[in-house]
Each structure stands twice: as structure tokens, then as C-alpha cells.
A and B are shown apart, each in its own frame.
Chain A
Amino acid sequence: MDTNMSERPVIEITGARKLFGAVKALDGADFAIAPGECVGLVGHNGAGKSTLVNVINGGLGLNEGQITLSSGQVSSDFSIRVARAQGIRCVFQELSLCPNLSVVENMRIAHSGLSGPGWRSQARSMVDELLDKIFPGHGIDSGRAVSELSIAQRQMAEIAIAFSSHGAPTALVILDEPTSSLDASRAEQLIAYVKTFNAAGGAVIFISHILGEVLDVSDRIVVMRDGKVVSDKPSSAFTVGSLVQAMGSVAAESAGRRTVAKRAVSEAPVIAFPRERDAVEFEAFKGELVGLAGLSGHGQTQLIVDLFMSVSGDWWARREPVAAFVAGDRIVDGVFPIWSILLNMTIAVLGRWQRFGLTDRAQEAEYGRTWHEKIGIRTPNLDHPILSLSGGNQQKALFARALGTSAPLVLMDDPMRGVDIGTKQDVYQMLREEADSGRTFIWYSTEMDEVCVCDRVYVFREGRIVRELEGDAVSEENILAASFGERVA
């Protein structure tokens, strides 16, 4: 670490441990950042980046570990309020402005000291000045409601608000995927501003999937894996390749592409989903593993959800479902939290065990036993609540729900999020077998290794399919090139 001893870190965290149920989100991570420094934070999904960020901004308490403030004092009751008093600000991955308020009014939310007569004009001049400084030519009317701005404008406004200071000076700004909705020139403007902010003594934590950007902006890069910091060196010591290596290839060995029999030219797709905006029409064929790639949040989930909705009924359930869905965001899209593991597994196939309109519980339990063994859920009893399982095992239950149906089409929305490597290996094995027996999988994944296993890949950018890659053309370079378009990393 090249922090100057004369300058105390803005914040220092040692031995951080954070558990979510059985999942170790942070497992003894150390982190410090000095004034005037820009630290890049990289790692795969579930490596612990967002947990660390939430600890630094005070949103999450630690199970173990120590937080030292810039005064050198160990904080025993670190909270959002303490963090803000220290001048720590955060731009979150998802939009975190109030959409019903104007940009100026959001300034008021961000700065509790902004009140009294004339607060509106004061806030307006502050945010306008910063917007002009960071993003010249931004075209944002700060009196308009955030919901009326474009996504890029919202992100610019949020960034400007984070850098603004009123009362306590802004000491540290955490930028979590700040460029995900910005085009190349805006991203460059931001990077330039981060450098001037650093020169003035401000610290920045920069998180991005675009490794080139991280290398460009950071003085130092911290790599996280499995809740630990695995590498912490000046950015000059890294290249994109060495960063990828340090992050760890999660599924490196599991890969090994399947050899699919060449399909007949005349064969009809299992499903086609033409949309006007796409450059290439979406189709999937029998027995195929179709990957959806591109930067996260660029419309892949939307396609999967729309596709599922279009083949399943709002009013009637089909006797034999056409598609089954495997959620990645388990809590929002998948799990029924009150129910046991068994009920969570069988909800999609209940129709099978009806006698006089009533469900035969014995057959249901028998089905549960079969899948318990087949997919290896680690629990002594399927009657335990689903939430007693670790994330990976919950995911297995969701896989069992989908694979147990007779649906010829399985849609997967980045299902390996926060799943341990053992589970991944088990599931990859099962997917391959199922695909060989004629099932079609549509698989959105944020992990490059997973996408590269697929037979065919659609690359997304800004909500639309921009490229189709097939066979040997499915490679990391090609996918990256298509995902960034003109903004090549």
C-alpha cells in the first residue's frame, strides 16, 4: 500500500466479516483509502464488492472487524449518518434519486443542511455549477423532475449531486458502475473530473465491469474474490489480462464446449421472438444453449421476462408449459419466502398429482425426494423453510422447480449470481445432460466463462440485440467488442 503515513486514510477497514445467513459476503477483508487517491475495485459478481461499498457508506453493519475514521478514531457505531458526516458519498448502481422530485430537490435530500429561505436557488446554483464542470453541455434543466430525464441524464445528475458539498466537505465518493448508462465521451468527462477531484485532495472508489476504464482512472486497484481482498497493487502493475486472472476464472475448467450436431437448415426454431429494435432476430433451436451477453442491465433480463410472459398465460395455465424460468435475483423473482423447500420446488408441477381436484401429498413428497437427491440440495429435510438454505442451495431448489417441468424451453436469468463454485459445477453438469436430451436453454450470464460455453450468443447493448455470434466466433474478444460498440475497453 502506498499511502503516505503523514496523511491518515479517509477510512480504514480491517478484518471485515459479514454474513448473510450462511453466505460469507465478506470474509476478513481489509481496505483503506487515502485522501487524493482513486482506488479501483474489481471482482466478479458476488465477490463482495457491493457489500464492502455498503459497509463503507454505513448502510451495513459488520459482524466482525474494525472501522477507523480519518481522525484516527475507531468508530464503534458506524452508520449512514457517521459516514455522511465524514464526507462519504455514494453513487449506487441502481438509480437512487427520488424520481418524483426535481434535481434541485434531490440536492436537498442529499444535504440535510440545505434549508431555510433561498435554499432552492442555492441548491440550483451548486448543482448547475458542478454539472457544467463535470459534464459540459449536459443539457439538464435542474428544475425538472428526475423521472423526465433520460437515463444518462439521471446518472449525470446523480454523479454531480454526489460530488457536491454543503457543510461537511466531500472527502470520498464511491462510484458503483457510474458509466453503465453513459456514452464514451461522457465517461471520459467523468474520468477527467475524477482526476481533478483527486488532485484537490478528494478520494474516489471506482467500481466498473469495464476493466480498461478502471485501469485508466485508478491509482491503485483492489481485487476481491469470495469476500476477501486477493490483490492490492498500484494500477501500473496490472493489465486487463492480469486483472482477469486475479479476479479468478470461476468456471474455467467446467467449460469445454459441447459438440452439437449440426442442425438441418430447414429445422424450425423452438421459439422465435422478433422485435423491431433488434439488429438480429432472436431464435432458439432444439437442444441448444443460447447465451445472452453484454454489459449487465442492457436488456437481457427484459428479453427473458418478455419471452416468458409471451408463452405463458395471465388467465389460464397451460397443461404442458412451454417455458420454465430460473430466477437469478432469487428474492425478487424466485423464492416464496414463507414456504418450505419442497413447496418451493413443486409449485410449477402441482397439476400432476391431482385426485378429485386435491393434491396427493405423498406423490409430491416423493417427487421432492427424487430431486433432492438428483440436484443435491444440502439440507436434512425438505420441509425446512427455503430461507434456511444458503444462496446456492436456494438456487438449486429453483433449478429443480424449472427442470422438473416438462417445458422444452428453460430461461435462465443470470442464475449463478452469488452461487458457490461447487454448486456451479453441479449445475453445469446437469444443464449439459438436459441439453443433450433435447431441451433448449436460454442463458443470460454476466460471467464471460459461462457465456463462452454456449452454442450461440446474442450480444446486447442499450436494450437491443446488436450481434449474434455462433460456434467458434463465441469468444471473449468478440463479445466484448460487440458489447462496447464504439467504446472499446
Chain B
Amino acid sequence: MTQLVSIYRSRWIWSFVAAAVVWTITVMFTGGASMVGLTQAAFTFAAFSIIVGLGQMFVITLGPGNVDLSIPATMTLSGTVALKFINVDASLIVPGFLIAAGIGLGVGLANYSLIKLLRIPPIIATLAMSFIIQSTAIWTNRGLRIRPPQPLSDFAVGFTFGLPNLAWVALLISALIYLLLEKSVFGRWVIAVGQNMRAARLAGIPVDGVRCLTYVLCAVLAAICGFFLASFSGGAALNMGAEYLLMSIAVVVIGGTSVAGGDSNVPGIWGASLFMFLVVSMLNTYGFDAGYRMIMTGIIIIGVIIAASSRTVRI
């Protein structure tokens, strides 16, 4: 039994194994020339998936039907508004960051108010919300692309001790999230709610409070990610969050978090994020089109959740 548990616990290792295999294949194709560059790029881009993935992981841990589809719109809005507020003035970077986080807070609260007040599935609430946020972003942006101030963009593209700064940010956030999930009462409550919401309520857990805080946390992480992504890519673009919708779900699922809820995994998010980036760059290296990359992405996600569904077959 204990052995079974330990294998079960270490499902996330496979995402790292897969990432390593894909890395090796890609490097082999280029004769080792791309080794350093590929690794650095992988950590940079993985950092974004990791930050949004951690938030999505918390939401998915709440149990079946819980998923936040407003992540891309939130990223766009926070990136747009924050850079507009900073307006290339380096002294406003910190307030700008706080505004981004504040937007996340607002979106999270709005999401959960819809879920709670209208009693609708989170997927619909966050989807409807995302349209409103997206419109707000379009309205704020007005086609202008405001550059981030120099120190901010230097930070976003810079390296410290050989690792991208953004990867360090992601690492810091991951460590905090890990503690929150594994060691705090709140984390324990989230996992309990995800396994059995009714039992959680009857064990005295304030279920609404826990769920609301989870949606807020997810939206705040998405907003922070949007802030850094806009700084990294030299300004906010209206479609900049688009690919993170599926990506956030994919890294959670591939990272070994159970879509049935109540069982999540922080390290797996790292392995999965690196893997997802490396697959795309491998397909690029081998000259596959966008179409093939999308098909592969879809198939990998479906394949992984089928493989991860160890439940007994019901006929």
C-alpha cells in the first residue's frame, strides 16, 4: 500500500521525464548548438505557464466543473491597464504592479459573485466574465501599445545566476503556493472541498469563503502573469493571453493534478510547462506547421487525462 502511495505521489516525475526526452531530441536535431539557448528560452516561456498554471491548479483542485476561463482576458486587461498607468515612468512600476494585482482581485471577486449569485457552473460564469473583461481591455487599449519602462523590460528579459529573472519569480511564487497548499489550513480546506464539497461543509469548513479566495488567487496570479508578459514582450497586446487558456489547463492536467479535484501537484506544473514549450519548439525545429502543433497539443492533453484517469471502468 505504502509503495502504491509513493508511486501515486510521484506521478509528476513523468512530466519532467517527458520534458527531458523532448529537450534531448530537439538538441540532437540541432547538433547540440541550441543547448543553452533552448534551455533559457524554455525557462523563460515556461515561467508564464507556471504562474497561470498554479492559479488554475488551485481552481481545478476545487473539484469537477471548477475551471477559470477568464485567465486570458484577465492577463490582457492587467497588462494593458498597468502599462498604461505606468506610462513609461520607471517610478510608477510598483504602483503599476499593485494595480495589476488589484485588477486580479476584482476579477476574482466578480467571478465568484457570478458563480454564487446566479448559481451557475464556474465555467459559464468565468466565460461570460471573460467577454466583459476582454471588451474592457479593448476599450482601454484603443490600439495603442505603450512600452514598459526600461528598468521593467530589462528585468523581464534579464538573467540572474544563469536563469531568467522570470523563472526566479515563478520559483518564488511556486514556493509560496506550495506552502499555502501543503502546509496551511487554507490549502487543506481547498483539497477537502475538492474531494467532497458537502462533507467539507459538514466538517465545518467555510466552503464559500474557500472557493471565493481560490478564484481570487487564480485571477491575481493571472493578472501578475499578464503584467510580466506585457513587460517581457514590450507592451500589452490584445490577444496576448489567448494561448494561456488551454495552456493553463494543460499544464495542470499534465503535471499530475487530478481533474476530479482534491489532489494537486506543484512540481508537476514545472515539468509540464517545460514540456509544453519544448514540444512546440521541437515541432518548430522539425519544420511542422501551426496546424500540426495545435493537433499535437490537443492530443497530448486528451492522452494525458485519459492515462491519468485510473478509475474503474463503468459499463
Minimum CB–CB distance from A262 to chain B (whole Å) comes to 33
Contact of A315 with B184 in the complex, beta carbons under 8 Å = no
Contact of A337 with B196 in the complex, beta carbons under 8 Å = yes
B residues less than 8 Å from A405 (CB atoms): 204
Residue of B nearest to A405 (CB): B204
Contact of B209 with A314 in the complex, beta carbons under 8 Å = yes
Minimum CB–CB distance from B189 to chain A (whole Å) comes to 8
Query: Which of B183, B206, B212 interacts with A317 by CB under 8 Å?
Result: B206
Contact of B184 with A359 in the complex, beta carbons under 8 Å = yes
B110 at the interface (CB under 8 A from A): no
A residues less than 8 Å from B208 (CB atoms): 314-315
Contact of B1 with A316 in the complex, beta carbons under 8 Å = no
A residues less than 8 Å from B206 (CB atoms): 312-317
A324 at the interface (CB under 8 A from B): yes
B195 at the interface (CB under 8 A from A): yes
Interface residues of B in 1-55 (CB under 8 A from A): 1-2, 5
Residue of A nearest to B184 (CB): A357
A residues less than 8 Å from B256 (CB atoms): none
Query: Which of A309, A315, A337, A358 interacts with B183 by CB under 8 Å?
Result: A358
Bound-state Cα–Cα, A347 to B203, Å:
7
Task: Specify which of B189, B196, B262 lies most central, judged by the most chain A CB atoms within 10 Å of its CB.
Answer: B196
Contact with B along A380-399 (1 / 0, CB 8 A): 00011100100000000000
Residue of A nearest to B208 (CB): A314
B263 at the interface (CB under 8 A from A): yes
B293 at the interface (CB under 8 A from A): no
B145 at the interface (CB under 8 A from A): no
A residues less than 8 Å from B179 (CB atoms): 358
Residue of B nearest to A311 (CB): B204
A residues less than 8 Å from B212 (CB atoms): 315
Bound-state Cα–Cα, A83 to B28, Å:
62
Contact with B along A310-334 (1 / 0, CB 8 A): 0011111100010011010000111
Interface residue count on the B side (C-beta < 8 Å): 29
Contact of A347 with B192 in the complex, beta carbons under 8 Å = yes
Question: Which of A42-50, A57-65, A348-356 lies on the face that meets chain B?
Answer: A348-356
Interface residues of B in 185-234 (CB under 8 A from A): 185, 188-189, 191-192, 195-196, 198-209, 212
A336 with B202, Cβ < 8 A, contacts A316-B209, A347-B192 known: no
Contact of A312 with B204 in the complex, beta carbons under 8 Å = yes
B residues less than 8 Å from A327 (CB atoms): 199, 202
A31 at the interface (CB under 8 A from B): no
A305 at the interface (CB under 8 A from B): yes
Contact of B195 with A336 in the complex, beta carbons under 8 Å = yes
Contact of B198 with A336 in the complex, beta carbons under 8 Å = no
Query: Which of A334, A354, A384, A385 interacts with B202 by CB under 8 Å?
Result: A334
Bound-state Cα–Cα, A489 to B203, Å:
38
Bound-state Cα–Cα, A316 to B206, Å:
5
Bound-state Cα–Cα, A457 to B162, Å:
73
B residues less than 8 Å from A354 (CB atoms): 185
Residue of B nearest to A351 (CB): B185
A359 with B183, Cβ < 8 A, contacts A314-B208, A316-B209 known: yes
Minimum CB–CB distance from A110 to chain B (whole Å) comes to 21
Contact of A338 with B209 in the complex, beta carbons under 8 Å = no
Residue of A nearest to B180 (CB): A357
Residue of A nearest to B202 (CB): A325
B residues less than 8 Å from A309 (CB atoms): 201
Query: Which of B1, B188, B262 interacts with A338 by CB under 8 Å?
Result: B262
Query: Which of A313, A384, A401 interacts with B209 by CB under 8 Å?
Result: A313
Minimum CB–CB distance from B134 to chain A (whole Å) comes to 30
Minimum CB–CB distance from A344 to chain B (whole Å) comes to 9
Contact of B207 with A314 in the complex, beta carbons under 8 Å = yes
Bound-state Cα–Cα, A338 to B196, Å:
10
Contact of A347 with B209 in the complex, beta carbons under 8 Å = no
Residue of B nearest to A411 (CB): B202
Interface residues of A in 363-383 (CB under 8 A from B): 383
Task: Specify which of A317, A321, A335, A343 lies most central, judged by the most chain B CB atoms within 10 Å of its CB.
Answer: A317
A337 with B202, Cβ < 8 A, contacts A314-B208, A315-B208 known: no
Minimum CB–CB distance from A140 to chain B (whole Å) comes to 30
Contact of A350 with B185 in the complex, beta carbons under 8 Å = yes
Contact of B185 with A333 in the complex, beta carbons under 8 Å = no
A92 at the interface (CB under 8 A from B): no
Contact of B204 with A324 in the complex, beta carbons under 8 Å = yes
B residues less than 8 Å from A324 (CB atoms): 204
B residues less than 8 Å from A359 (CB atoms): 183-185, 188
A residues less than 8 Å from B201 (CB atoms): 309, 312, 314
A residues less than 8 Å from B191 (CB atoms): 336, 338-339
A308 at the interface (CB under 8 A from B): yes
A residues less than 8 Å from B5 (CB atoms): 385
Query: Which of A308, A313, A358 interacts with B184 by CB under 8 Å?
Result: A358
Residue of B nearest to A323 (CB): B204
Minimum CB–CB distance from A323 to chain B (whole Å) comes to 8
Contact of B184 with A332 in the complex, beta carbons under 8 Å = no
Bound-state Cα–Cα, A327 to B203, Å:
9
Interface residues of A in 235-250 (CB under 8 A from B): none
Minimum CB–CB distance from B195 to chain A (whole Å) comes to 4
A315 with B185, Cβ < 8 A, contacts A336-B262, A347-B203 known: no
A332 with B199, Cβ < 8 A, contacts A314-B208, A347-B192, A359-B188 known: yes
Query: Which of A321, A336, A351, A385 interacts with B192 by CB under 8 Å?
Result: A336
B residues less than 8 Å from A316 (CB atoms): 206, 209
Residue of A nearest to B198 (CB): A333
Minimum CB–CB distance from B205 to chain A (whole Å) comes to 7
Residue of B nearest to A332 (CB): B198
Contact of A348 with B263 in the complex, beta carbons under 8 Å = no
Minimum CB–CB distance from B115 to chain A (whole Å) comes to 13
Contact of A347 with B205 in the complex, beta carbons under 8 Å = yes
Bound-state Cα–Cα, A405 to B65, Å:
32
Minimum CB–CB distance from A67 to chain B (whole Å) comes to 20
B residues less than 8 Å from A321 (CB atoms): 204
Minimum CB–CB distance from A417 to chain B (whole Å) comes to 15
A residues less than 8 Å from B195 (CB atoms): 336-339
A317 with B263, Cβ < 8 A, contacts A358-B184, A359-B184 known: no
Bound-state Cα–Cα, A335 to B201, Å:
12
Bound-state Cα–Cα, A232 to B198, Å:
41
Residue of B nearest to A312 (CB): B204
Q: A321-B204, A339-B192, A347-B205 are in contact. List 11 more A-B contacts (CB 8 A).
A: A312-B206, A334-B199, A335-B196, A336-B195, A337-B196, A338-B195, A343-B188, A347-B189, A347-B200, A350-B188, A384-B1
Q: Can you list 10 A-B pairs with a CB-CB distance of less than 8 A?
A: A309-B201, A332-B196, A335-B196, A336-B191, A336-B195, A336-B200, A337-B195, A339-B192, A347-B188, A347-B205
Footprint of B on A, CB under 8 Å? Answer: 305, 308-309, 312-317, 321, 324-325, 327, 332-339, 343, 347-348, 350-351, 354, 357-359, 383-385, 388, 401, 405
Footprint of A on B, CB under 8 Å? Answer: 1-2, 5, 179, 183-185, 188-189, 191-192, 195-196, 198-209, 212, 258, 262-263
Task: Report, nearest first, the 10 A-B pairs whose CB atoms are least far apart.
Answer: A358-B183, A314-B208, A315-B209, A336-B195, A325-B202, A317-B206, A350-B185, A313-B206, A348-B203, A315-B208
